[in-house]
Structure formats: C-alpha cells, structure tokens
Structure 1
C-alpha cells in the first residue's frame, strides 16, 4: 500500500473529488469508472480505496457538496430581499437555473440520485434512514483521511431552507405546513424535464416556466387585502 504524507493525502483527496465532479457531471454515475477518476488524478486504481470505500461514496460526497453550494448561493441571493414573495421567487428562479445548467443539481433534485446512492450505501430505505439523521456535514474524514458516508439527511426535499417556517410563522403563506410549501417549490423543478420534449415545445418553454413561477408565488402568498379572519381560516 502506497504511503503518503498528510499533505499528499489532502491533495489527492481534493483532486479525487474534483475529478469525480468533472466526470460525474459529464458522463453520469454509471458511465464513470473508478479507473477514469484515478487516471484523471494520476494515481493507481487501488489507491482510490485508501480514500473512498467505493465509487458510490465519492459520488455522494460530490452530490452533497453540490447541494451545499446551491444552498449557500440561495442564502446569498435572498439575504437582501425584504418580502417572502420575493424570497420565494428568487429561490425558484435560482434553483431552476441551476437545474437547467448543472447536471449534478438536476440529478440531485429532479432525478433523485442522492436517494438511490444513499440506499445503496446503507442498505436501507432512504426515508427511514433520513428520519434518524441530523446535521448538514457534506462528509466525514476519519483519522486515516478516508472519506466515510456523508450525512445526507433529507435536504433533497429543501428541508434546510429556513424561509418556509418564517413565512408560515408570519401568516404570509396560505399553507400551514412548511414541508408542503417546500414540496410545492421542489415540484416546480420538474418542469425542466419537459424542456425540449413534445410536452412543452421549445419555443414556449421560457414562457411556461415564467407563468408557473408567477402562478405559484402569487397563489402561495396571502393577498395584503385579505382580512385576518381569512388568514386564519386557511
């Protein structure tokens, strides 16, 4: 077994994640081989397993890293926004743009890749496993600098977004359950699947997406003219 200095291990670990990100985004999980990743980094295939237990473990780290980057981007995007309606619109626009442009984000939120890989690694039903997890760390490195399975939780359902709780607490949302609000926001991402298909002709896709955003945001939030009794009779 090759011996590496701490500095080399840190470098190789980072390079494996970068190579995995590049190849998984370009070719997908199934078409990317461990040998493709190690060739990109310039190490032997056997050395890969000093850093990750499996290709699935690396893929899960890449996906959760992408997820964390997206939520940081969303946090920045809404930091100066004053109204919940504008927050919801920005969250939808930002996430939809990422789903269209970033294949890993699409696989994460639309195709449910993180669920499939997490089930393969843990041998359990994702929903059961997710209910026992907590925290948002993207991965855990043991004393040998080997990456163990990251804690995925159930963030693929947008549960790390704090805004829905804040909206419901202020009675700004017509739906009482923040998880339903998150589900509504996430379900809108699936419109991207209809792009360039007979379902939505390409010439009208942008208008369809725009109309959906407007309809969801307008319908989700209570009109300022509503009375307090209307708000509490939801």
Structure 2
C-alpha cells in the first residue's frame, strides 16, 4: 500500500470504519455508495480500494468490530451478575437495548441486510463472522442450560428465542410510534422481559 505511512493508513482505515458506521446506520447498505464514504473521509475511490475490496467488505469489518465491542461490554456486566437468572435478564435487556439504539444491528436483523451481504461477499467470510458471534454467545448459553433451575436444555432454542425477541423492536417503529403509544411499547417490553425470564426458570 504505497504512498501512506503506517500512521496514515491507520488513520484512513479508522475514518472509513467510522464513516461506514454512520452512513450504513443512517441510509443502509444498499443506499450508501462508495462515493458517499470517500467524500466523508476525503479520499479518492482508488484509495478506498486499497483498504477494502467493496462496501460490503467494509460493512462486515464494522460488524466484526461492533460484535467485539458488545461482547466485551456484556462480559463485563455478566461478571458482576449474582446468579444465572440475573445473567439471563441482563443479556435479554442488553440485546433489546442494542437493537433499539444501534441501527446497524437493527438493519441487519429487521431490514434483511444480511441477505445483501450473502449476495455480495464470499459465503465463507459471512459465515465466519456469524460463527464467531455464535461461539461467543454459546459460552453463556451452555452455562445457562446446565443450571438445574433453567428450563431449556438446547442452546439453539435460546438463539431462536433471541431472534424472535429482536422483531419486537421493529414493532415500536411500525405499530406503536404511528399510534402515539411509545410509552405503552416500552412498558410492554419490560413486561415481556419479565415473562420471558420467569418462563425460562423453574419456580
């Protein structure tokens, strides 16, 4: 990668990651052009391709970084949890909060941007990202299912449960906001968390 010092390369790569996080979150993968990214960073298109093969490759790199950030923050919170029930509640609450506040995750799950990634990137690259994410989750899930009071013994069922819970976040925008009932959504979501967590444990 000629023409740039190590410091300049690091700066440009970081700027592209930050610009991508902002633009992909605001406009989505399909509507964000490489020109939008390069204009934001102040580089030419040819320079972009010295760092990433495509905008999809940049998107995946951003997802990897987001996954690592969320996992690190969640691990720190779970380390302070007094028991498995508290761990489960923290995880469910954090999952829903992240989807509500992080447009990248929201678009990936609700707007089906995962399909666009699969169409444009080598399958092995996309699968590697999600496999690593599942492995990070599985450490917690495996511990939960071995707890005597936990009612589910299949980690895959728990992963499916989290996917279903994710779509309740979309209901806020599509159903509750148009009806002017955001407060009702938020209180109902708190009730849902109570019901889910209580339902996962005996007694």
Aligned residue in 1 for 2:187: 207
Q: Structure 1 residues 163, 115: CA separation in 2 closer, same or farther (over 3 Å shift)? A: farther
Higher Cα Rg, which structure: 1
Higher relative contact order (CA 8 A, sep 6+): 2
Gaps of 5+ in 2: none
Alpha-carbon deviation of 1:220? 0.7
Distance 1:32 1:106 in 2: 16
The alignment status of 1:197 with 2:174, answered yes or no, reads yes
What is residue 48 of structure 1 aligned with on the other side?
48
Q: Is the 8 A contact 2:176 2:185 kept in 1?
A: no
User: Is 1:62–2:62 an aligned residue pair?
Assistant: yes
- Alpha carbons 1:63, 1:114 under 8 Å: kept: no
Match of 2:136 in 1: 160
Instruction: Give the TM-score taking structure 2 as reference length.
Output: 0.86
Match of 2:6 in 1: 6
More helix, by proportion: 2
Q: Could you give the per-residue CA deviations for residues 187-208 of structure 1, whole angstroms, max 9, x where no partner exists? A: 2121011114347852421122
Provide the TM-score with structure 1 as the length reference: 0.76
Figure out how many residues of one structure are paired with residues of the other and give that number: 199
Native 8 Å contact 2:64 2:129 kept in 1: yes
Over the residues paired in the alignment, what is the CA RMSD in angstroms?
Answer: 2.4
Superposed CA offset, 1:164-216 (max 9, x none): 10111223321111121222133212101111434785242112211211111
Contact 2:25–2:107 (CA under 8 A) maintained in structure 1: no
What is the rounded CA distance, in whole Å, between the counterparts of 2:198 and 2:146 in structure 1? 18
Structure 1 residue 125, shift from structure 2 partner: 8.9
Secondary structure of the structure 1 residue equivalent to 2:14? helix
Partners of 1:220 and 1:108 lie apart in 2 by 27
SS at match of 2:174: coil
Alignment partners' CA distance in 1, 2:202 and 2:78: 20
* Secondary structure in structure 2 of the residue aligned to 1:174: coil
Per the alignment, residue 137 of structure 1 pairs with none
State the partner residue of 1:218.
198
Query: Aligned partners of 1:77 and 1:205: how far apart in 2?
Result: 25
